[in-house]
Chains A and B, each alone.
Chain A
Amino acid sequence: MIQLKGIGKRFGEQQVLQDIHASFGQGRINMVIGASGSGKSVLMKIMVGLVVPDQGELFYENSSLGAMDRSEKQVLRQNIGMLFQNAALFDSLTVEDNLLFPLRMFKPAPRAQMLDRVAYCLEKVGLAGKGPLFPSELSGGMKKRVGIARAIVLEPRYLFCDEPNSGLDPKTSLRIDHLIRDLTQEFNITTVVNTHDMNSVLECADHIIFLHKGRKTWEGDRQQILKSENEDLNELVYATRHLQQYRDQAF
């Protein structure tokens, strides 16, 4: 479980996040939604330790991230997998070497054993046999799937996905959503996903928090989100005219 207690962050004059309290449970897909500029990415960077919050505390299980020393943070980070918006694969390495990199760095084992693990992860994301390819030879959806495979190769307890569907067609998006859902359930991972894609939210979110101008203004699940009274949230959920008509007819 990940707990956020009063997280706040300011960049210069701009208050990007203010008093965020939330808790993200294990084995569930926790989604952080909000319009562009609402502070989702900064919140995720705070959660993975790339940005230090100005206020508040962040707990992994019962350990405060701020109180951890360098070696404790390093151990924690080996339990964190992250899928970046643009996958962030190492361009100079093949798909196989991208997956081997964290294994060789942190869990060195006989090469055959590590290759078995790589093959298993690639098979999980539906990319068996693509190991020799370079990232430049992959489509956007394939890059995201390699990113997911690299994120899970060290068997993490926490999976973070930043805009996993951005730039993907609806069918590929759905495939990525199902993949994240299946991995979360199969490995009982605490998954946190940043998105503003309502299809993803309605498809697989177990727990949702909504950020608006740096504040958490709503929390619930995918059943509750459609009936929310929060106007800012509804502007995001029913962003298209068709959906607005659907809402007017339904309620």
Chain B
Amino acid sequence: MLRQMLSKPENGRMYWEETVRQMASIGLGSVGIVAFVAVFMGGVSAVQTVYQLVAPYISLTVVGSIVTNSSILELGPSVTSLVLAGKIGSNIASELGYMRSSEQIDALEIMGVNPVAYLVGPKILACLTMIPLLVVISISTAIAGGMVICQLTGLITYDQFIEGARSSFLAYDVFFAMCKAFTFAFFISSVSAYHGYHVHGGALEVGRASTKAVVYCCILILSGDYILAELLL
């Protein structure tokens, strides 16, 4: 399937337009949910970190450090990807599955369009570009959320949080987060597209394909998370 995707486009402009459309749908369409999840992710990790820091000799600036590091290394890329597997993955699988069952994919093929290249290619490309951006938004929002909640609830001040965040920041961690984001983006787009594209049957099979896509994506994200951590950290 991936090999078929690499064939020469029949009309480059149409493919580009489809890619931009997918980028808008996947990227802009997911900003809200990603930001919402991230704010609370950052807030909860801040509150729980303070809760566990009972020793008086530990500086509270550590809260900023832990929230920032956990957001960059784990919460931002992994949790966001799991959320996106549910949103984007099921969307891709059900869209392609419906197109298959309603013969729209056959219609494209008979017209002379390569349906894998036209339908799957732009989705994978859009995921590879937009999911890392969404992860960046998620990490930034989680850190900001943690910081604001710490200040509002009086746990620690902005200055203490920022001091802690700066003290342990490593640029390599961002590189690691982006590696995870690209890998998970590829898992989400390709696995979901595969399950949707190969649907046989009607509405029931489309639903099953969508569920399967999300489950396989989650398994791949979690196992990939461990493998990348072993390899890169």
Contacts and interface: CB of A to CB of B under 8 A. Distances in A.
A78 B111 contact: yes
A105 B102 contact: no
A104 interface: yes
Contacts of A85: 103
A86 B103 CA distance: 8
A102 B110 CA distance: 11
Nearest to B112: A77
B199 to A, nearest CB: 15
Given A77-B111, A77-B112, A78-B112, A105 B106 contact: no
Interface in B99-124: 102-104, 106-107, 109-113
A82 interface: yes
B112 A106 contact: yes
**Residue in B10, B13, B104, B112 with the greatest tally of chain A CB atoms within 10 Å:** B112
A43 interface: no
Contacts of B2: none
A102 B118 CA distance: 13
Nearest to B104: A88
Contacts of A89: 104
Interface of A: 48-50, 70, 73-75, 77-78, 80, 82, 84-86, 88-91, 101-102, 104-106, 108, 154
B112 A82 contact: no
Interface of B: 7, 10-11, 13-14, 102-104, 106-107, 109-113
Most buried by B among A50, A90, A105: A105
Contacts of A73: 112
B10 A106 contact: yes
B102 A104 contact: no
B118 to A, nearest CB: 9
Given A77-B111, A88-B102, 17 more contacts: A48-B110, A49-B110, A50-B109, A70-B7, A75-B112, A77-B109, A77-B110, A84-B107, A88-B103, A88-B106, A90-B107, A102-B111, A104-B11, A104-B14, A105-B10, A105-B11, A105-B112
Contact of B104 (A49, A82, A90, A106): A90
Contacts of A88: 102-104, 106-107
A104 B14 CA distance: 8
Max count, chain A CB within 10 A of own CB: residue among B102, B109, B111: B111
A86 B102 contact: yes
A77 B102 CA distance: 20
Contacts of B104: 88-91
Q: Which 8 A-B pairs have the closest CB atoms?
A: A77-B112, A88-B103, A88-B107, A74-B112, A84-B103, A82-B110, A105-B11, A78-B112
A75 B112 CA distance: 7
Contacts of B107: 82, 84, 88, 90
A79 B13 CA distance: 22
Nearest to A73: B112
Contacts of A78: 111-112
Contacts of B106: 50, 84, 88
B14 A105 contact: yes
